[in-house]
């Protein structure tokens, strides 16, 4: 049976204090502290739940706590974190082995080391290996504390002793609790270690980064079962053979989800790429069939990306449809619209669609660009030069508005595009002066507009 502990709670503001005093330390009210018994949650896994016996309160009685953020100075990392680190936040950084997770966190920690007492716990590499990497990154002189250990109880004890304010656990799969008999990396161990880390972070307002390896199949026990326990989930991705790396926020309790940070992995570490549009556009001397540039919104940032399609005679029945960086179901839907509303014959043709640079387009705003790329390849007819296309396509062939049309248009203008084919409903009152905004309501109109350019 878990031992109950004493707590004092302020009637006025709800703040809790371990000791009784005449005046509430939080709101200053007099004689407002009353004793309350709390039974700690018996299982580590249950620790995320609010304390048992908590009383309901009015919404407006909840004190407003300002979530102060500490920027790391790595601009693209701060972007995905929602501006910087939040004290007491737990961030999971998942990704394939070798993508650069350890490098990114070592750089972030080193950048913060003057402002936050930082402890880097490595369960995978020896201190020599971590030291070697730090030297390669030119960070060997930073006031960083390192620890090579895998027993979570000892790690947390050390972190407490060191009064660490920032903790990196690299990786969760190597950590284990002596309280459990199962092997490190098992679901039970990963969950238990994470639960302890989360409690540690919340109790002491320590920011904790947890590194987790995921395989392509997502088969490895770990990160997936942790997603609901942590505040922020970041995925680190990179195309094999490419030096560009993308960090994507798939969940963020302290900022916008789906924010994208872009880095280049160089000899001396990860460098933020502040204008990623430049790398997602392939350089064609003149327009080529099957290529259309669209403006995607990644989190809060508009990104110019190139959508490519290739339509070819089917080698076998049924014809193949392959979407890379796009939803396959969405592609099928767009092909049906293209057939039904423009009479394009695709029944005996293979269709491949691809987004350049390893970007994944989840939004329907890319519909019109995908559809026009397929059509352009089918008829072997390039689209006009310096054209950018965005808009959602409905089943009736209507072009529907998309969020943030104005920001998309501004981004296209900034990157030197001369015209934008876009939903009429998105047309802005005062478009940027150097871009021609062509608003259309229906696919027919869009095709007619293309003929006129």
Q: Which residues bind ligand TYD (CB under 6 A)?
A: 95, 97-103, 133, 136-137, 265, 267-269
* Both tokens assigned to 36: 């309350």
Which listed option, Mg ion, ligand TYD, none, makes contact with residue 329 (CB within 5 to 8 Å by class)?
A: none
- Cis bond upstream, residue 207 (ω within 30): no
Assess contact for 123 and 171: CB atoms under 8 A. Answer: yes
- What are the Cα distances from residue 371, in Å, to 299, 308, 387, 427? 23, 10, 15, 21
Shortest distance (Å) from residue 450 CB to ligand TYD: 43
**Number of Cβ within a 10 Å radius of residue 244:** 18
Instruction: List the single partner that 42 binds among Mg ion, ligand TYD, none, CB under 5 to 8 Å by kind.
Output: none
Q: Which C-beta is closer to ligand TYD: that of 174 or that of 207?
A: 174
R_g over Cα of the chain: 27
**137 vs 418, beta carbon nearer ligand TYD:** 137
CB of 402 to ligand TYD, least distance (A): 34
- Bridge-based pairing of strands 419-423 and 291-298 is unpaired
Query: Among residues 110, 142, 103, 144, which one has the least CA distance to residue 125?
Result: 103
* Contact residue for Mg ion among 32, 70, 102, 122 (CB under 5 A): 102
Instruction: Tell me how far, at minimum, the Cβ of 266 lies from ligand TYD, in Å.
Output: 6
Residue 17 bridge partners (DSSP) = 8
Indicate the SS3 state at residue 17: strand
Q: Which does 184 bind (CB under 5 to 8 A by kind): ligand TYD, Mg ion, none?
A: none
In this structure, the strands spanning 387-389 and 419-423 are: parallel
Count residues contacting Mg ion (CB under 5 A)? Answer: 1
Give the pairing type, strands 419-423 and 69-70: unpaired
Considering the complex, state which of residue 10 and residue 172 has its C-beta at the smaller distance from Mg ion: 172
Task: Say which entry of Mg ion, ligand TYD, none residue 391 contacts (CB below 5 to 8 A, set by partner kind).
Answer: none
Q: Which is nearer to ligand TYD, 237 or 436 (CB)?
A: 237
Nearer to ligand TYD (CB atom), residue 53 or residue 98: 98
Task: Print the binding letters for residues 366-405 with Mg ion: x by CB under 5 A, - otherwise.
Answer: ----------------------------------------
The answer to whether the CB of 351 falls within 8 A of the CB of 374 is yes
Kindly indicate which of the ranges 96-104, 182-190, 262-270, 359-367 contains the residues binding Mg ion, using the contact rule CB under 5 A. 96-104
Within 296-355, which residues bind Mg ion (CB under 5 A)?
Answer: none
CA distance 310 to 70: 46
For position 174 contacting Mg ion by CB under 5 A, the verdict is no
Least Å distance, CB 298 to ligand TYD, is 22
Between strands 90-95 and 207-213, the pairing is parallel
């Amino acid at each position: 049976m878990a031992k109950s502990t004493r707590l004092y709670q302020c009637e006025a503001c709800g703040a809790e204090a371990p000791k009784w005093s005449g005046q509430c330390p939080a709101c200053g009210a007099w004689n407002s502290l009353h004793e309350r018994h709390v039974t700690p949650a018996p299982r580590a896994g249950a620790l995320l739940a609010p304390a048992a016996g908590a009383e309901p309160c009015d919404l407006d009685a909840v004190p407003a706590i300002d979530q102060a953020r500490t920027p790391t100075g790595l601009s693209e990392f701060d972007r995905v974190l929602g501006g910087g680190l939040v004290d007491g936040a737990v961030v999971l950084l998942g990704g394939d082995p070798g993508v650069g997770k350890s490098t990114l966190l070592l750089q972030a920690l080193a950048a913060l080391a003057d402002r936050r007492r930082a402890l880097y716990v490595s369960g995978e590499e020896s201190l020599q290996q971590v030291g070697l990497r730090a030297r390669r990154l030119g960070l060997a002189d930073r006031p960083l504390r390192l620890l090579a250990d895998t027993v979570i109880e000892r790690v947390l004890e050390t972190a407490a002793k060191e009064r660490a304010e920032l903790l990196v656990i690299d990786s969760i799969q190597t950590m284990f609790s002596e309280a459990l008999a199962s092997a490190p990396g098992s679901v039970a161990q990963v969950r238990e270690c994470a639960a302890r880390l989360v409690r540690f972070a919340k109790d002491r307002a320590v920011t904790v980064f947890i590194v987790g390896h995921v395989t392509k199949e997502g088969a490895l026990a770990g990160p997936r079962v942790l997603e609901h326990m942590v505040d922020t989930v970041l995925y680190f991705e990179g195309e094999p053979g490419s030096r560009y790396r993308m960090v994507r926020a798939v969940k963020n309790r302290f900022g916008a989800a789906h924010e994208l940070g872009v880095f280049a992995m160089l000899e001396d570490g990860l460098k933020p790429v502040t204008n990623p549009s430049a790398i997602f556009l392939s350089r064609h001397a003149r327009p080529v069939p099957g290529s259309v540039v669209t403006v995607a919104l990644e989190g809060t940032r508009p990104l110019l990306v190139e959508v490519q399609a290739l339509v070819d005679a089917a080698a076998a029945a049924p014809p193949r449809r392959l979407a890379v960086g796009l939803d396959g179901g969405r592609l099928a839907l767009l092909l049906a619209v293209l057939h039904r509303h423009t009479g394009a014959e695709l029944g005996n043709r293979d269709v491949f669609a691809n987004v350049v640079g390893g970007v994944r387009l989840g939004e329907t705003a890319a519909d019109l660009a995908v559809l026009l790329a397929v059509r352009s390849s089918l008829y072997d007819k390039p689209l006009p030069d310096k054209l950018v296309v965005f808009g959602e396509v409905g089943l009736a062939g209507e072009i529907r508005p998309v969020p943030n049309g104005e920001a998309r248009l501004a981004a296209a203008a900034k990157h030197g595009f001369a015209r934008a084919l876009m939903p009429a409903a998105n047309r802005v009152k005062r478009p940027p002066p150097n871009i021609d905004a062509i608003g259309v309501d229906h696919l027919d109109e869009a095709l007619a507009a293309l003929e006129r350019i």
